[in-house]
Structure 1
Amino acid sequence: MSQDLWKVMAPRLESNKSNVAWTRRVKNDPSTNYSYGQIHDGALNLAAKLRQLGVAQGDTVALVGPNGPEWGVASFAVWKIGAVLSPVHIGNSEADIRTQLEVVQPKLILAHQPGSKLDGVEFQIVDIEISSELAGQELGEPLNDLSSEECLRIYTSGSTGTPKIVRLSHSNISSNFTACSKIVTINEKDKFLSLLPLSHTFELVGGMLLPLYCGASIVLPKVLTAQEVFDAMKEEQVSVVLAVPRLYRNIKNGMEKKFREGSFLLRGYISLLGALPLGLRRVLNAPLRKQLSPNLRYWVSGGSRLDPSIAKFFRKLGISLRQGYGLTETSPVTCVQEAFPANFDSVGYALEGVEVSIDEPDDLGSGEVLVRGHNVMLGYSDEALTNEVMKGEWFRTGDIGRIDASGNLCLTGRLKRIIVTEAGKNVYPEELETLLERYDGVKEAGIIEVDQRPAVVFAMDDPEQCGPRAKEILKDFNTHTSSHN
């Protein structure tokens, strides 16, 4: 079966042509809906325009703009003609965007509301229009199957500042969202809330291609504020949210504050919830979930490690918060948790068609996580860099983990971040950061190495209380945590 992205997605767009694909919430105005048919026809029209402008199979086309249906039109148009999409994060500085464009060297740039971000660039800029006036010549332009061909060039500056371009194929991407659809069941009644930049593969694959493949719709908030996120969830009856752990931590902290300030009966009720069977909890807490969204089904966390205490908190309320794991190089999803996992420390099982292995495990079974399967990238644009991270067919993730008795992958840290103390003890900063961020008042915690010893850097909610509160936290933390010297 073809995994050519246009050949996979076009039938879905056509069969759902009258359904809503995107809802754009507009400040002080009614929301605007865009149908699957508009996305399909707009993509064909733009594809014909790109051909007229000389874009051919294998050429790179950059895409700049805020999240929206324009991303669907542009992506499908580029893939329809066999070109390669290179997404650009519109939140980056003008200098960073220019640097990326100079490295990628696109044939042209597709843009929607770029503001001043593209001022002074030397490449041709083409505005994205959602037009249903079909260009007839594009309908009759079949290409050979592109499953194994490159479809995405993802630019990343990397932790060292050395730019890398990750090359992903049609098969990498389509196999990823089709495998995800078998674990996170989605249908045409579902509504996704679009929060993360579509320039990131997590949102592009999980927040755009997955819902459109399954016939669901995507909701765009007016602005990315906490109040608008809650309003959009409730008013649009959102059922699925993909976000980074910080959003869920903020929701948890806000709810806990309300619980603490509530009546004695409310506090007692919340404390007893953990002892009740999951099914009963879901029934009892249905009114609370409806306050968030009447049709809430899944929350999915990705992008960084989710503190298990956050997932446990929402499980107590009968809310499914599922953690996923992957990297841009793995297209991006490798593992996804079950709806209510037994092991909150895990990131779940590998997707269909994906294998996970632990390289040179220690006595505790921990070692570098290796990934093999349909989702592993074609490589970097730099062959030498590719050779560094590939071990035969296996991709070296740089993450440290182990596989539990049930086959779940459990992560402990990053290979390059391990701190080896003078006593020869391995310290995993991510584990300590997770524990520190559970303290009230801690916005973010970082562990760094100073003279072969771990040191803490705090970002506090209240800067004026930073010194005294940080000392209290460290004293309590060191009392209850084994020595890391």
Structure 2
Amino acid sequence: MYKNLKENYPLYEVREISSFRDLLDSGATIYGDRAAFKYKVDGEVVSVSYKEFKGAVDAFGTALIDMGISGKHIGIVGDNCFEWVRSYLAILASDSVVVPVDKELSAEDIKNILTDGDCEVLIYSDGATESKITEIEADLPNITHFICMSVPSVKDDKHYFAGDIVSKGKELLDGGDTRYISLVPDNQVLKELLFTSGTTGKSKGVMLSAEALIFNIINGQKLMKITDTCLSVLPYHHSYESTTGILVMMHAGMTICINESLRSVLPNFKLYKPTEVLLVPLFVEKVYRGIWDKAEASGKASTLRKLIKVSNALLKIGIDVRAKLFVSVTSAFGGRLKAIVCGGAPLKPQLVEFFESIGITLINGYGISECGPLISINRPCYRNSEAVGILLPEMEIKINNPNENGEGEICVKGRNVMLGYYKNEQATADAIRDGWFHTGDVGKLEGDFIFITGRIKNIIILKNGKNIYPEEIEEKLSIRSELIAEIVVKAIKDNEENERLLGAEIFPDFERAKTLGIDDPESEIRKVISEYNEKEAGYKVIKKIIFRTEEFEKTTTRKIKRKYN
């Protein structure tokens, strides 16, 4: 449980590392037999120490070099699992380039990324992913090695089992092979190639150096207090989880418990008893609703509200009894959870207030793949729930062309900024100008804190010249009504087809309405928008409401594809 201070406090001390080889070697030396990873195999929990993990990575990397796989682009696609992480670290510590790919993409999209990313080797998991790879294999002539994390359906001179490769690598290491472990890294060249899941167009390949990733590892920890155990939930192909959820946690010597599926999240909270977890706001909101639904169903909602009121009153006079008062709620998270770190979308105030009330701190941050991904984060004891935190140490920030409210495009500098977009000089020149990376996000600075208003590409310009940030209105309306599952605010034409007005396209939360006993959610949402309109400036009034019967089309990271504006 963290107190929120009125002023910032000194940075946490963090040990420096010179390379990913140093990350592996120093981790094994410092943390030794401490559990680096825990995961399930056939329902039983397996624990891998830091020393054992280094051995597994070195064996895999050594065997890859023996197979002639050096200086290659290597794709990884598949489920979150220990083998994914082992492959990822083995490539990071090599002279090759890692290309993480989203397993939820279609076979065609996976093929395009592997082709555009010039991949010559592919590491993949079994099941649905293996089926997709089998479907597109004939269209991937440049890939010479297909390596399955589990025993593949076919093993030959092109198809391999990762377990066999590790065994071969151990033999080579035992025989004195040092080709892999003695590699001298170049931290300035391309190390990771991330293909973004854009909400409006084709994905671009973000080129990150080892230096950019190491910058994230070190400077992220200077702001955050790292604890001892995390539950790893979010997809590994995304830099939010691969950088902050794996690399940062490894550097800090945490035990990383790998969650195998969305259905297993809550059971795994109880099993592994984590002290922190990285999540997206959508998941946190589902957990929040689940807690209240359960309380309502059991007749304990009124008691919970009273306890929160009493606890908050006691906190104001310096008495903290949350651990005892809310044990029946926090036990669902294993009983040790201190913080939930969120990114990817704004946090609703009621979520922050509720979790704070029961003794779990919600910490919001801001990142973008092009920065590997961290730009800012709220600190455990210095935070503003409406902001996305304070800038990482050793970074610079400016607001480009601010308006009368101080809002403009967020631009940053730092060693974590990408090298550029892969084979796309024009896009690189558009994004990095005069040394500043233009994020495409609109925001403002207030003291130490960064606030985000919206995205430049989503701005609606009305006929009167007013700029509307649709995300700002969408957030306000979503906060006002839990019956709004999804919303897109967009420009519409008036009856004369000559003036742009504001409309809202909404997908109601029909399941939530049913739970609350509401037969006509659309009428309830109209009331909420009417109340909103009464209090807002005329140019921000919603003139037209369109209700959907299906969800909006989304990216694989669950962001709405904004082709509706």
Please give the TM-score of this superposition, normalised by the length of structure 2: 0.79
Mapping 1:162-173, distance limit 5 Å: 162-173=202-213
Measure, in 1, the Cα distance between the counterparts of 2:360 and 2:319: 12
Shift of 1:63: 0.7
Shift of 1:71: 2.1
Measure, in 2, the Cα distance between the counterparts of 1:400 and 1:335: 15
Measure, in 2, the Cα distance between the counterparts of 1:95 and 1:384: 26
The residue matched to 1:424 in structure 2 has which SS? coil
Measure, in 2, the Cα distance between the counterparts of 1:60 and 1:458: 42
- Deviation string for 1:10-66 (max 9, x for gaps)? 321344342222222356x22222332332122212212221232223x21111121
| Contact 2:65–2:179 under 8 Å retained in 1 | no
The residue matched to 1:110 in structure 2 has which SS? strand
The answer to whether structure 1 residue 393 and structure 2 residue 435 are counterparts is: yes
- Deviation string for 1:224-246 (max 9, x for gaps)? 12xx3222112211111101110
Unaligned runs of 5+ in 1: none
The answer to whether structure 1 residue 115 and structure 2 residue 130 are counterparts is: yes
Q: Name the amino acid aligned to 2:28.
A: L
Measure, in 2, the Cα distance between the counterparts of 1:351 and 1:126: 38
Q: Which residue of 1 aligns with 2:506?
A: 458
Shift of 1:441: 2.0
Q: Which residue of 1 aligns with 2:218?
A: 178
Q: Which of 288-297 and 91-100 deviates more?
A: 288-297
| Contact 1:330–1:375 under 8 Å retained in 2 | yes
The residue matched to 2:351 in structure 1 has which SS? helix
The answer to whether structure 1 residue 44 and structure 2 residue 44 are counterparts is: no
Q: Identity of aligned pairs, percent?
A: 26
Which of 361, 386, 391 is residue 350 of structure 1 equivalent to? 391
RMSD between aligned residues: 2.3
Shift of 1:435: 1.9
Measure, in 2, the Cα distance between the counterparts of 1:302 and 1:258: 26
Kindly name which structure, 1 or 2, has the bigger radius of gyration based on alpha carbons. 2
Measure, in 2, the Cα distance between the counterparts of 1:378 and 1:52: 30
| Contact 2:338–2:359 under 8 Å retained in 1 | no
Change (3 A) 1:330 1:393: same
The residue matched to 1:233 in structure 2 has which SS? helix
Q: Which residue of 2 aligns with 1:218?
A: 256
The answer to whether structure 1 residue 410 and structure 2 residue 451 are counterparts is: yes
Shift of 1:265: 4.0
Mapping 1:71-220, distance limit 5 Å: 71-113=84-126, 114-119=129-134, 120-121=136-137, 122=140, 123=143, 124-128=145-149, 129=162, 131=166, 133-136=170-173, 138-141=177-180, 142-187=182-227, 190-220=228-258
Q: Which residue of 1 aligns with 2:547?
A: none
Measure, in 2, the Cα distance between the counterparts of 1:339 and 1:110: 37
Measure, in 2, the Cα distance between the counterparts of 1:138 and 1:453: 69
Measure, in 2, the Cα distance between the counterparts of 1:362 and 1:416: 17
| Contact 2:80–2:260 under 8 Å retained in 1 | no
- Deviation string for 1:130-181 (max 9, x for gaps)? 5462522543542333221211000125333223110000010011011122
- Deviation string for 1:432-466 (max 9, x for gaps)? 11122221222222212223222212222217745
Shift of 1:283: 4.7
Q: Which residue of 2 aligns with 1:336?
A: 377
Q: Name the amino acid aligned to 1:432.
A: I
Which of 471, 475, 478 is residue 526 of structure 2 equivalent to? 471
| Contact 1:322–1:340 under 8 Å retained in 2 | no
| Contact 2:307–2:325 under 8 Å retained in 1 | no
The residue matched to 2:384 in structure 1 has which SS? coil
Q: Which of 236-245 and 106-115 deviates more?
A: 106-115
Please give the TM-score of this superposition, normalised by the length of structure 1: 0.92
Measure, in 2, the Cα distance between the counterparts of 1:272 and 1:94: 54
Measure, in 2, the Cα distance between the counterparts of 1:273 and 1:115: 52
Which of 15, 21, 24 is residue 39 of structure 2 equivalent to? 24
Unaligned runs of 5+ in 2: 1-15, 150-161, 494-499, 512-518, 542-565
| Contact 1:446–1:458 under 8 Å retained in 2 | yes
- Deviation string for 1:312-335 (max 9, x for gaps)? 222222321100101000110110
Q: Which of 200-209 and 414-423 deviates more?
A: 414-423
Mapping 1:254-403, distance limit 5 Å: 254-259=290-295, 261-262=299-300, 264-277=302-315, 280-281=319-320, 282-283=322-323, 285=325, 287=327, 288-381=329-422, 382-403=424-445
Alignment length, in residue pairs? 478
Q: Which of 297-306 and 38-47 deviates more?
A: 38-47
Change (3 A) 1:340 1:432: farther
Shift of 1:200: 0.3
- Deviation string for 1:162-209 (max 9, x for gaps)? 23110000010011011122222225xx22111111000000011111
Q: Name the amino acid aligned to 2:178.
A: L
Q: Name the amino acid aligned to 1:403.
A: L
Measure, in 1, the Cα distance between the counterparts of 2:179 and 2:312: 60
The residue matched to 1:238 in structure 2 has which SS? coil
| Contact 1:448–1:455 under 8 Å retained in 2 | yes
| Contact 2:196–2:203 under 8 Å retained in 1 | yes
| Contact 1:44–1:134 under 8 Å retained in 2 | no
Q: Which of 234-243 and 199-208 deviates more?
A: 234-243
Q: Which of 323-332 and 444-453 deviates more?
A: 444-453
| Contact 1:21–1:217 under 8 Å retained in 2 | yes
Which of 220, 231, 247 is residue 267 of structure 2 equivalent to? 231
Measure, in 2, the Cα distance between the counterparts of 1:60 and 1:268: 57
Change (3 A) 1:275 1:424: farther
The residue matched to 1:412 in structure 2 has which SS? strand
Measure, in 2, the Cα distance between the counterparts of 1:333 and 1:86: 19
Measure, in 1, the Cα distance between the counterparts of 2:449 and 2:88: 34
Shift of 1:412: 1.0
Change (3 A) 1:416 1:286: same
Change (3 A) 1:359 1:12: same
